[in-house]
Structure 1
Amino acid sequence: MSPPEGAVTHFALPTEKAAPVGITADDQAVWFVEIGAGQVGRVTPDGEVTEFPLPTAGSEPHGLAVPDDEVWVALETGKVATLRP
């Protein structure tokens, strides 16, 4: 079996041990949660990374959705948070 063709690009995250999971996209970027850092991250096609800390310590964000320019995040604290970047 031959390896897949195409390029793979890695985007380094500024926060050590961010542990990114749960990825989704909008029209301009890709969004993910950082369960290890309690943050929401965003990366643009040109590699610009922005992180948004969540206000609740230990929230452990896991999943997210980005409908209508709002970011909805599921938290292990039994809550759902919204982010309006």
Structure 2
Amino acid sequence: MERYFFNHRDAEGELQIDIDGIILPSLNTALEEASFAAHAAVSMGEEATQGCFEIEDSGRQLLARIPYAIREEDDASVTS
């Protein structure tokens, strides 16, 4: 088990740092969590925007990025 941090970078490039993280059994589980969060961001979005969840390990090393984009009301996507 390892602690993973899920930072969020918004459309303007500002980074919100996750200071707590969560303990998960694997990187695959962390990727699933970030994908779920990206889907939630897309489903709640009402305006065109984009962002990215950045997964870091307990040593604060970047492991993965999960980008998402809301282009128009009916054209939302998550790229993972």
Give TM-score scaled by structure 1 length.
0.28
Asked which structure has the greater RCO (Cα within 8 Å, sep 6+), the reply is 2
Higher share in helix:
2
**Structure of greater Rg:** 1
